[in-house]
Structure 1
Amino acid sequence: MKPIDPAALRRSRMFLLLIALVFAAPMIVAGLLSWSGWQPGVKGNGQPIQPQRNFVDEKLPVQLTDGQPYAWRDSEPRLTLVVLAGPDCAAHCFEVLTGLAKARVMLNRNQSRLRLLYLGAPPADATRRAAMQAYWSLGSDVDGKLAEYRPTTPDSVSALLVESNGTALSFYPAGFDGPGLLRDMQKVIK
C-alpha cells in the first residue's frame, strides 16, 4: 500500500470544504437577509394597516342602501375591496370606480372571489349612479369608524382590501396606482 501524501490530503479536504461553501453560501446569505427583515418580492402597493384591524371583531356596521347590514363574513371566502369616497364624487371618482370594476373583471375566473363595496354618497348623476350599482354594493359607514381612511380631497377615492374573515390587509390612499392594486389583488385572490 502506498503512503498517503499529507499535502494531497489537505488539498482534497480544502476542495471539499470549498464545494460545501459554494452550496451553503446562498442559504446563509438568504438567512441573514431574512433575519434582518428584508424579504424580496413581498412588498405590496398598498400601505399595511397598523395596528391590524378586524372589522368582524370590531363589529363595524355598514348599512347598504337597501337597509340591510353588510356582512363582512360571507357564505363563501371572498375578499372585499372597500372604496371610500371623498366629498363630491363626480367624474374622476366615477372614472376610478369604473377602473376598479374593470380590474375585478380582469381577475377572470377569480372575479367572483372579490366583492366591491362603495361607502359614501354616490355620484349625483343618475346615469353614473345606475352604472355603479351594476358592480358595486352601495352603503355607508354607520359609526364613522373608517373616517381615518376617507380622503378629504373632493372627487377622490381611497380603498381598503379586506380579507374574507374581516381583517383589513392594506390601505390605498387617494391617488393610488390602479394597476398596483390589481397586482395586489391577483396575489391574494387565487
Structure 2
Amino acid sequence: MNAITPEQLKARNRGRWTLVALFGLFFGVMALAGVLRFAGWQPAAHRNTGEVFTPAVDARALPPTLANGQPYPWNPDAHVWRILVAPAPGCAAECVTLSQGLDKVWQLFGHRADNVEILWLGTPPAEVQGFPALRVLAPQPNLRAVLPAVDDAAGTPVYVIDPNGFVIMRYAPGFELAGLRKDMATLLKLK
C-alpha cells in the first residue's frame, strides 16, 4: 500500500474544503433568494408606483358610453390599455394640467401609443379637448361607483384599466407622471 504523504493529504483536504465552500455558496444564495421572495421584498426597479388592486375591480359588465352616445366596448382582442380619469364636477385648472401631463405620457409611448387610450369620465374643461388619445365618456354613476377612492378630497385620481375591462391600478392625486409612464411601459410589453 502506498502511504499518503502530508503534502498529498493537505492537497486533498484543500480540494474538499473548496468543494464544500462552493456548495455552501450556491445553496446559501438560493436560500437567501427564497427568504427575500417569501418576505415580499422586490427590487426597486420592479415596484409599481401605482396602487395595485388585488383582486382587480371588474368593470366588464359596465361598458362605458362615449359622450356622443356611441358604445365604448372593452374589446380585449384589440389589446388596448386605458388610463381613466374620473374627476369630480367642477375640476378646472387641476384637470387641464393633469390632461396635458397624460398627453405627454401618451406621446412618450411612441409606437406603442396606439395601444393606449385616455378615457375621461364626464365633461372635461374646454382646454382638454383635442388630444389624439382622449375618449370622452358620458357621465356614468355606475362606473364611477366601482372605482375605489374615486372621490378623494386631495384631488383627481387616475386609474389603469386592462384590455379586458378590469381596473387594475390607481394613482393617488398628485402622483408623478413618470411613475405612470414606467408602469404603463411595463404593461404594454405584455402580450
Q: What is the TM-score with the length of structure 2 in the denominator?
A: 0.83
Structure 1 residue 184: deviation in Å? 0.8
Matched residue, 2:135: 137
Aligned residue for 2:86? 84
Give the structure 2 partner of residue 29 of structure 1: 32
Deviation track 1:121-140 (CA, whole Å, cap 9, x = no partner) reads 311xx4x14335x4310112
CA spacing shift, 1:34–1:99, aligned 2, 3 Å:
same
Percent identity of paired positions between Structure 1 and Structure 2: 27
Q: CA RMSD in A?
A: 2.3
Q: Is the contact between residue 53 and residue 168 of structure 1 (CA under 8 Å) also seen in structure 2?
A: yes
Corresponding residue for residue 67 of structure 2: 65
Q: Tell me if 1:3 matches 2:3.
A: yes
Task: Tell me the alpha carbon deviations over residues 72-122 of structure 1, each in whole angstroms, 9 at most, x when there is no partner.
Answer: 225411111111112312122111111101101101111111111111231
**Letter of the structure 1 residue corresponding to residue 72 of structure 2:** Y
Q: CA deviation at 1:68?
A: 1.6
Task: Name the structure where helix makes up a greater proportion of residues.
Answer: 2
Is 1:165 matched with 2:164?
yes
Query: How far apart, in 2, do the equivalents of 1:72 and 1:4 lie?
Result: 78
Deviation at 1:49, TM superposition (A): 1.4
Would you say the 8 A contact 2:116–2:133 is kept in 1? no
Distance 2:129 2:22 in 1: 68
Aligned residues: 183
Q: 1:11 to 1:72 in 2, by over 3 A?
A: same
Runs of 4+ with >6 A deviation: none
Give the TM-score normalised by the residue count of structure 1: 0.84
Where structure 2 has 5 or more consecutive residues not aligned to the other structure, the ranges are: none
- 2:18 corresponds to: 15
Give the 3 Å change call, closer, same or farther, for CA 47–5 of structure 1 in structure 2: farther
Q: CA deviation at 1:151?
A: 3.3
Distance verdict in 2 for CA 1:53–1:4, change over 3 Å = farther
Contact 2:80 2:117 survives alignment (8 Å): yes
CA–CA distance in structure 2, aligned partners of residues 33 and 67 of structure 1: 51
Alpha-carbon separation, structure 1, partners of 2:133 and 2:15 = 69
1:98-109 mapped onto 2 (5 Å cutoff): 98-109=100-111
Structure 2 Cα separation of the partners of residues 70 and 115 of structure 1: 12
Residues 161 and 171, structure 1, Cα contact 8 Å, conserved in 2 = yes
Letter in 2 for 1:95: T
> 1: distance between equivalents of 2:145 and 2:3?
83
1:54 Cα offset (Å): 2.3
Displacement, 1:160? 0.8
